[in-house]
Chains A and B, each alone.
Chain A
Amino acid sequence: MKIKLAPLLLLLLVTFSANSSDFIPANQMFVSEQYQSFAISPDGKTLLGKSFIDGYQQLFAFGAGSKQAAEVFKLTTTDRKRILDYDWLDKDTAYVSFLGTFNTYYIRIIDFTFKDNDFEIDYYDIRGLGILVNPMLGVEDKALLAKLNAKEKKLDLLELDLSKLRNIKHNSKNHKKIFSTFRNLSEDLEDTYKFYVSDSTYELEMIGQSYDDYNTYSVYDSKTGSWKEFFRVNKNTSEEKNYSKLDVFTPITKVDDSHIVALSNINRDKVAVVLFNIETQKDVEVLYESEYYDVKAATYSREQKKLISVSYADRGLNKQKFLDKGSNDFQSKLVQKIGLESVFIIDRSVTGSDYLIFAHDASNPGRFYHYNLANDKLRFLQSSMPDLYPYSFTKADILTTTNDLGNKVEGFLYTGDSSKKMPMVVMPHGGPIGVQDLNEFDREVQFLVNRGFAVLTINFRGSSGYGKKYMSAGREQFGKGIEADIDKLVSKAISLPLIDSDKVCIYGKSYGGYSAITSTILYPGTYKCAISGFGVFDLPLLYSASNLHHSEDVKDAISFVVGDIDTKYEELKANSPLYKADQIKVPTLLFAGKNDEIAHPEHSRRLDYVLNKIGQAEVDYYEYLHSGHGHPDWAGDRHQLITVVDFLNKHISPELTITKKNKTVIAEDYFLLGLIYYHGYYLKKDHDEAEKYLRLAHSNGSEEAAKYLRRLGVYDF
């Protein structure tokens, strides 16, 4: 069945822009990226894009020079339905892996027929969970797909033959029959979960296997015709002397029968790109290592026998760095043309003629471009969040300090373009181990800056990206070195003329929530208020939050970060803000998720209970009914951030002139809160709270709020 496609307008027209002082409504900021990714066909002539608009995930296709796109796949996002992966299999065939109705996984094959400047599609669905491993572009109608083998709890690597799937009656029986004829490249291998395939022969040459107690990597030895294990790590790492939880070892590609290229920090501090000898099981050459940062990704050409690019967060900004001069110059040219700091080549045609570019930085959530080499033409495709186009966002200034261990501590201070002294919100990140704050677009940070607050984020000891020693230095530092690092950078920030040192609050989530409350105890003069989302406040409770926390694996994981409860109980208690609640003197705002299995809401309930009992610090507590360690959809974030801004305005209000336009946005925000309480969505239905926020919305100009007030029987507004 050929389907003629209705055209969609690809490019949105920008018709207005906002002043930098214009508030952004919470329901425009806290939304998903509308345009999420693009892929280019092997011949460079057709592009596929993925969007998320009005509750639908959608794939659309368009010619490389066309301004009109056509929808080729659409999925509502109710009941967890979602697109898992998509790509081109050849110049006129694409695939989509998705979770569809009744929690069932499907693979859709889409055949394109191009005619003049138009195309039609035909498609069929196959039941099963599969992800493309290699499109086998050199072989017609073949592709390698990793497909879940639920019975054996492994992934199978199947060589699809699309010619066998076309022109059949598509049903489960026929699919099963035809799939049984496909070559299974991993048939005799157990517990396979990761495949590395040769780009020239399309043979399987390296695998990752996951067993109950350990993971391994093996290469295929063509001389002996057998698989040779070259790396093993026990999952119960306490028994493994040569491997720690902070070690990284990720193979990138096989180079020859004796060597692979891998990302590794084993026996070194920073994650580097290394040439690894599989016989001696040791690095033989460091291909790239940064002095300051962990490498996060790399590309290596086997043909050229050289490293092509590496990626790492350079002063908080993820960057792709090309190692040959030509590519590097090309990238510099793109950076200059686009005007954003971080430019990634995300796809290219096989011919090398066409590139897909994604560019972003802290002031921009991202823009997609198509570049044609022959014409030297860079064409803007779409912004990832086009609705935010009218607003301006801010980049951070890098602040650094040296901590007591002699480590450089990096932080990012966002101040916008205010010339007046600004109140500041310090935002310690979660973790605390293995998480990194980036100098990239962050909805919460930009929302707070937009509402008049400077924001400081800090990569304190324990943060990832700065090497293993730095990460390890954050272990068992709850209420100690981590907060000292934060304080040191906060002191530096508040000495700046733009920051109003009398108006500083601290707001964090997860570990950041712990740190926020703890910092007010350790540094009592610094903060005027504290906010915690999904925080932990009773460290021994981490071990007794549920009976499942009593298992050795869970205890081991918690003690690695927090400290051993059997030997350090008193220390854990002493570093718990709950048990020092009488020292919490500032207004405190707490958020928790009823279904949070990481920071159980009991932590926040306890602190709320005790602070109310002691009665010396004002405390507000919100327990979200459907949230876990975060919110299942954006409505929760909107409630949380509007409430945060309200709370900050009460305690460290910025000096802003509220324009008529901004009053409308404030009305919109309050109206949203009013509806949450009115309907009992996210929080318990509460008509008093609903009335309070609807009145505020109405007083700021919302006529819609008046309607709901009347429904509540309120007429005196």
Chain B
Amino acid sequence: MKKYAVLPLFILLLSGCVSKLSNFTNDQKLTPESNMGVVVIAYDSDTAIHSLVFSGPSTFELEHNLYDNKHNYVVTSFPAGTYDITKAKIYSKYYYINLGSDEDANWKINIKPNKVNYIGHFNIDKVGSGYKVQIKNSTTLALEFLQENYQDLITRYGLVYSKDGPDDEFLTYLDSLKGEE
């Protein structure tokens, strides 16, 4: 498997048209508008992640502010559509790793409206002088987290795996098991 390792780049100016997203806390009743999807991502990294930049119908920056110390998930909402995770800012807003889909790494996500869209566990590992960056499919961990913390949300909207790529029917299979109960 090819490793995706890049060096961090230093930037002087930030783009001015990026909307910042915030986390929803466990206490909030999350009711996105009809064209929005709830987005769930986990950060799983040996390197401090400052934020991720999503480019699609709009551009969003999702800062890594954990709402408590118990877990590493961020739950927010986006307008539905296809996005690329284009940058991972590490340590601070000034350093970023350029991502963007290429033949070795697909960074697309497809956010569906009125669904809880789990997009993966975002992982950065320091390898030598570079970084290996990937987004792993850990649906079971996300499901268990959401069942414990956002049961109401997944009951109302239903959980889907929204990372672009080959089909993953695990959640559909679980639904079918529910039907058999």
Contacts and interface: CB of A to CB of B under 8 A. Distances in A.
A39 B166 CA distance: 52
B140 A547 contact: no
A609 to B, nearest CB: 5
B104 A548 contact: yes
Interface string A511-548: 00000000000000000000000000010110111111
B68 interface: no
A605 B138 contact: yes
Contact of A550 (B106, B120, B123, B173): B106
Contacts of A419: none
B138 A550 contact: no
A557 B2 CA distance: 11
Contacts of A687: none
A554 interface: yes
A600 B170 CA distance: 15
B140 A544 contact: no
A379 to B, nearest CB: 45
A429 to B, nearest CB: 21
B148 interface: no
A551 B2 contact: yes
Nearest to A543: B166
Most interface-central of B3, B105, B140, B144 (chain A CB within 10 A): B140
Contacts of B3: 548
B126 interface: no
B163 A544 contact: yes
B43 to A, nearest CB: 15
A546 B136 contact: yes
Interface string B113-128: 0000000100100000
A606 B4 CA distance: 27
A579 interface: yes
Contact of A545 (B103, B106, B137, B141): B137
Interface string A547-564: 111111110010000000
A578 B177 CA distance: 12
Nearest to A606: B140
A602 B123 CA distance: 14
Contact of B134 (A541, A548, A565): A548
B167 interface: yes
Contacts of A541: 137, 168, 170
A602 B105 contact: no
Interface string B165-181: 11111100110010000
A330 interface: no
B135 A609 contact: no
Interface residues of A, number: 31
A597 interface: yes
Contact of A548 (B4, B143, B167): B4
Contacts, number: 91
Contact of B105 (A545, A547, A578, A609): A547
Contacts of B174: 610, 613
A214 interface: no
A570 B105 CA distance: 25
Contact of A547 (B163, B168, B170): B163
A615 to B, nearest CB: 10
B60 interface: no
B54 interface: no
B96 interface: no
B70 to A, nearest CB: 14
A501 to B, nearest CB: 33
Contact of A606 (B123, B136, B170): B170
Most interface-central of A543, A551, A557, A600 (chain B CB within 10 A): A551
A602 B137 contact: yes
Interface string A446-476: 0000000000000000000000000000000
B1 interface: yes
B11 to A, nearest CB: 24
A621 to B, nearest CB: 11
A565 to B, nearest CB: 5
A597 B166 CA distance: 18
A548 B105 contact: yes
Contacts of B4: 548
B132 to A, nearest CB: 8
A602 B169 contact: no
A597 B1 contact: yes
B107 interface: yes
Given A543-B165, A551-B1, A602-B141, 8 more contacts: A546-B135, A547-B105, A548-B3, A548-B104, A553-B104, A600-B138, A606-B139, A609-B143
Interface of B: 1-4, 103-107, 120, 123, 134-141, 143-144, 163, 165-170, 173-174, 177
Interface of A: 538, 540-541, 543-554, 557, 565, 569, 573, 578-579, 597, 600-602, 605-606, 609-610, 613-614
30 contacts: A538-B170, A540-B166, A540-B168, A541-B170, A544-B137, A544-B167, A547-B107, A547-B120, A547-B135, A548-B3, A548-B105, A549-B1, A549-B165, A550-B166, A551-B1, A551-B104, A551-B105, A552-B103, A554-B2, A557-B1, A601-B138, A602-B137, A602-B138, A602-B139, A605-B138, A606-B139, A609-B143, A610-B174, A613-B174, A614-B177
